[in-house]
Structure 1
């Protein structure tokens, strides 16, 4: 049972026209037809495309116009939003009737915008479910405008309250609810900074409403960086998918059905709210960004404040549990530095994988240091009840600091403390280390 729920804010416009609604007008295959034309509309290149997002179409000599065409099969009656992304002279027709035409020069030279995410120009058209129509989009090529051409379509917008109610009703009838949320093209991009860590509305409302009616709720978070998860203690499980690529569906199914273990670990520390984060401002003032936090970034910043985040650097759960039993004596490593054995046991009922972190600390140091810092890590696998040893190498550089006077990396004499555990906030084992 599937319900889309209310659409998130800031989605950046309709999605590229694809296999769900589009057929190639020449072959009937799911997708669209790409043609590159010369100035007299002679065809120089023609190819099938799986979707209406074509960023780098082949441009033979004499190329003048990029055209994308599809037979659109509406599955809902009402007002559809059709879009065309690109720059220059753009035109869009439905059943040969123009619905969009104009000259749209670039307003920026940002290559990410010109070549990857050109803005969409949209038109609204009434379509009838089950009655296919031919959609044809064209853009003329011009210097400095790139070649990216994107044909998009979105069906009638659902009533947000009705969509939320339908999703909650479906979740209540299911054995388990799987809710997919995440950031959108409109609020997460390499081309601009986010101003908030909140998920686009109304996704938090959707999760909470479903969790109230279905205690077995799993939330899949599709985001490229930290986001606030205010409902994280109200749901049965949270699975961070990041941006998983074209095999996302198969991979998620394998993990959710237990065929594969979710073996990833957080490479960053996640706050409960942006207001809790030790470093919140990265915007220059008067053209200057002072980096006042110095060495204390990421999990180091949290350790200095003495407060805890929602999830520490290195956090991640699988389908088994682990007990850290012993930390051995550091031994010299042939490649430099030392190696330390960490003994742990799989205390669950399934095979699993664990990533062991080793941190160093030196509270009595004569130089400024973090409260503790990552020195090494290693991954291990073990069956149910099995004990395994992770051998973690600590490179010599992890013990060193930069000396401006010596203009070199030097090792401060004295004793360091080695700690080991699953993540930066849980390091139950410790041993002393005297550098040689």
Structure 2
């Protein structure tokens, strides 16, 4: 151990104290040993450091910081170097705000388009997500602080996220859901990782020895710190044994006592605790070094311009019929849509950033040379229908040459803590579009949302620019693309299905009760659509440009592929060339093609550039569940270079020697997986893939409620009071949505409805403890008076204990 001497001077109580938070955002300090507190702050796309009134839902404002485009936006840039630059800027702002650990980036896969937190994740592809995340991490950590890649792992739904059990086969876990983390650890060298809330195959992720010890620390060699998601600790001692060093936020010493007792009883070896403390000290001391130097304030203007450049490079042009874009000079424009005035530029929840500057499209139009003839909001932001607004918008549209229509998803639809109900944009926006089409068919849609949406209306628009969630400078970036000052180069990092029902996980998302089953296995996103020949609206990797590119002269060797790209148009631009690999053998079921490399190249008109993409350790591998390791199947492999997953421009092949591993599968037992028709896999076949029985997916309504049951389960409680509370909460949620208070309704769903009972203690920073939760559970389970008495008695004990601790702390301070 690096800090054995310091640890030898600690009491058992001091060691235990370091493994839990000091308050909502800080780790514990030990002044007598020179150990300071670390400040951990949300920050996937901007620093969210709260000076006071801390919360984890984004309810209270934070110190102003640059709001960069979200991860879902930046992934469309397909630019690893740009990710590193963003990381540098984020790191500088974190240092300026005295943040030790920046909680991001998030690399969970977009298994399903409806996951409420998809705006915070990069892609449906682990290779792309991992590469860009590694860039972020290198940039952040180059400033002397730590990134914290999250949420480890298979956290792909928000509903019941603190209790849901994710049931997934080992191969799928490794190939799809862990690969991005692997790249973040090995290439980004992240100093910390945040564990996810959910269970994985029966055990909570931060207690799961298989992923925490066997894979993370054993195979990947990770020697940093694992932090729980806020309130995500179930059994604190089990977490420490697995190697989860830090629990956040504070539990006011409650779990420290559990650790002390576990050491004394022999359940937890003190050397295991010492190792955890050693890694915590390493993170604390190394992230403190930067604060010993003179600190410089960051330039708000410089960082704002960087946010704009990132947004410009991430905008995706999805449609450009009749070359309606870029907008010609002198064109009379009608600007319509509420989002033009009040931009949708970031997600909602723990990642909400208080921007230093914020542009909207209307202000930007005043500075530009566009001939705007007026603006109308056209629709109510949160879905309420308004005929008068549509009529006013249509009157304006009649006078224009082109309509710029700003539409998308609102903040209440995409939010941490709850999943979307469907893939549609609000009906009142579609009604507006339909009405505008009747009076003027020259419509350009500017779309703002953080995830895929259905577009049954797309034939009624001639131009479509998708800005995703472009951050504080996104409006100006969009205007520059509209004007042709910037040639769009973004390409989709996720597939857009025609209908939500086309997704492979449609029948198994979300898990509503005990578990969620990943019956589709490795077939998510383009891996499914391309292999099963499902028609899509826009394929993975798709994006248009104001110029054209030709692909030429492919050459393949055992370690790389080389080819040429020519800009055959008249405008300078950047092209994202994508390397896909497909195995010719059908002995082991695999997707038709998988992304294994990419390169973004800027090319002037008429210029030709040579591009080389090297093969790496992930190019030909698959995970063999029989040998329990990565293997290579001996076969010819198709090497495909494409402008998207469905626009393959060059094809060659290479023969690769295999590792002679036994085939782990019996084709006859897994017909759905070998045919890729996985949208309706039955339980028997899924069990053959898993190698064991599927656990019960429904609540056992006969059992009493426990710590890890959610408030939603109170509908089955034996106690009348708990059932009454459930119906009151449900009514409040319904009523708030009915009167248009959707954001407030969401808070009920996020912070109450899906919260497990243990969260009452884990998320309140010592206001409540587990003995008090015992009393609440007694009430829920039908013992009202006994439970109430227990609750009040334990509350009084806690209050007295806190007063005693405060008095002792005051004496120590004075001495």
Structure-1-length-normalised TM-score: 0.61
Could you give the per-residue CA deviations for residues 143-164 of structure 1, whole angstroms, max 9, x where no partner exists?
A: xxxxx99xxxxxxx89811211
Distance 1:159 1:434 in 2: 60
Q: Tell me what 2:391 maps to.
A: 165
Question: Quick one: structure 1 residues 406 and 385, their matched pair in 2 at CA, closer, same or farther if it must change by over 3 Å?
Answer: same
Distance 1:169 1:57 in 2: 48
Does the CA contact (< 8 Å) of 2:504 and 2:523 recur in 1? no
Q: CA deviation at 1:58?
A: 4.5
Does the CA contact (< 8 Å) of 2:405 and 2:445 recur in 1? yes
Q: How does 1:168-183 map to 2 (within 5 A)?
A: 168-183=394-409
Distance 2:443 2:485 in 1: 19
- Give the root-mean-square deviation of aligned CA atoms: 2.9
Q: CA deviation at 1:224?
A: 0.4
Distance 1:395 1:203 in 2: 46
Q: CA deviation at 1:215?
A: 3.0
Q: Tell me what 1:376 maps to.
A: 597
User: Greater shift after overlay, 274-283 or 164-173?
Assistant: 274-283
Q: Tell me what 1:289 maps to.
A: 516
Q: Tell me what 2:537 maps to.
A: 310
Aligned counterpart in structure 2 of residue 254 of structure 1, from 457, 480, 484? 480
Q: Tell me what 2:623 maps to.
A: 402
Q: Tell me what 1:239 maps to.
A: 465
Does the CA contact (< 8 Å) of 2:542 and 2:644 recur in 1? yes
Q: Tell me what 1:191 maps to.
A: 417
Q: Tell me what 2:431 maps to.
A: 205
Distance 1:233 1:278 in 2: 26
Does the CA contact (< 8 Å) of 1:278 and 1:305 recur in 2? no
Distance 2:457 2:405 in 1: 12
- Any unmatched runs of 5+ in structure 2? 1-47, 54-59, 62-161, 163-228, 232-352, 355-379, 658-815
Distance 1:368 1:183 in 2: 37
SS state at 1:202 partner? helix
SS state at 2:427 partner? coil
Q: Tell me what 2:578 maps to.
A: 357
Question: Quick one: structure 1 residues 340 and 171, their matched pair in 2 at CA, closer, same or farther if it must change by over 3 Å?
Answer: same
Q: Does 1:421 align with 2:617?
A: no
Question: Quick one: structure 1 residues 382 and 302, their matched pair in 2 at CA, closer, same or farther if it must change by over 3 Å?
Answer: same
Question: Quick one: structure 1 residues 290 and 219, their matched pair in 2 at CA, closer, same or farther if it must change by over 3 Å?
Answer: same
Does the CA contact (< 8 Å) of 1:168 and 1:209 recur in 2? yes
Question: Quick one: structure 1 residues 212 and 422, their matched pair in 2 at CA, closer, same or farther if it must change by over 3 Å?
Answer: farther
Q: CA deviation at 1:286?
A: 5.0
SS state at 1:398 partner? coil
Q: Does 1:300 align with 2:527?
A: yes
Higher strand share: 1
Aligned counterpart in structure 2 of residue 229 of structure 1, from 432, 452, 455? 455
Q: CA deviation at 1:289?
A: 1.7
User: Greater shift after overlay, 208-217 or 303-312?
Assistant: 208-217
Q: Does 1:319 align with 2:540?
A: no
Q: CA deviation at 1:325?
A: 2.6
Q: CA deviation at 1:279?
A: 2.5
Q: How does 1:38-57 map to 2 (within 5 A)?
A: 56=50
Question: Quick one: structure 1 residues 347 and 291, their matched pair in 2 at CA, closer, same or farther if it must change by over 3 Å?
Answer: same
Distance 1:313 1:244 in 2: 20
Q: How does 1:52-67 map to 2 (within 5 A)?
A: 56=50, 58=52
Does the CA contact (< 8 Å) of 1:204 and 1:230 recur in 2? no
Could you give the per-residue CA deviations for residues 186-235 of structure 1, whole angstroms, max 9, x where no partner exists?
A: 21111100110000121112223223432331101100000111222221
SS state at 1:197 partner? coil
Question: Quick one: structure 1 residues 329 and 180, their matched pair in 2 at CA, closer, same or farther if it must change by over 3 Å?
Answer: same
Distance 1:234 1:218 in 2: 10
Distance 2:545 2:453 in 1: 21
Question: Quick one: structure 1 residues 212 and 287, their matched pair in 2 at CA, closer, same or farther if it must change by over 3 Å?
Answer: same
User: Greater shift after overlay, 244-253 or 308-317?
Assistant: 244-253
Higher helix share: 2
SS state at 2:497 partner? coil
Does the CA contact (< 8 Å) of 1:420 and 1:427 recur in 2? yes
User: Greater shift after overlay, 383-392 or 221-230?
Assistant: 383-392
Does the CA contact (< 8 Å) of 1:181 and 1:220 recur in 2? yes
SS state at 2:406 partner? strand
Q: Does 1:278 align with 2:499?
A: no
Distance 1:341 1:216 in 2: 42
Distance 1:383 1:343 in 2: 14
Could you give the per-residue CA deviations for residues 342-386 of structure 1, whole angstroms, max 9, x where no partner exists?
A: 222212210011101111111424222111111111111111222
Distance 1:160 1:202 in 2: 8
Does the CA contact (< 8 Å) of 1:326 and 1:343 recur in 2? yes
Distance 1:159 1:194 in 2: 20
Distance 1:390 1:235 in 2: 35
Distance 1:435 1:363 in 2: 11
Q: CA deviation at 1:178?
A: 0.7
Question: Quick one: structure 1 residues 260 and 406, their matched pair in 2 at CA, closer, same or farther if it must change by over 3 Å?
Answer: same
Q: CA deviation at 1:404?
A: 3.1
Question: Quick one: structure 1 residues 212 and 388, their matched pair in 2 at CA, closer, same or farther if it must change by over 3 Å?
Answer: farther
- Any unmatched runs of 5+ in structure 1? 1-53, 60-65, 68-108, 113-147, 150-156, 333-337
Could you give the per-residue CA deviations for residues 370-423 of structure 1, whole angstroms, max 9, x where no partner exists?
A: 111111111111112222222122223220112234332121122111111111
Q: CA deviation at 1:285?
A: 5.7
Distance 2:443 2:645 in 1: 28
Does the CA contact (< 8 Å) of 2:642 and 2:650 recur in 1? yes
Moved over 6 A (4+): 109-112
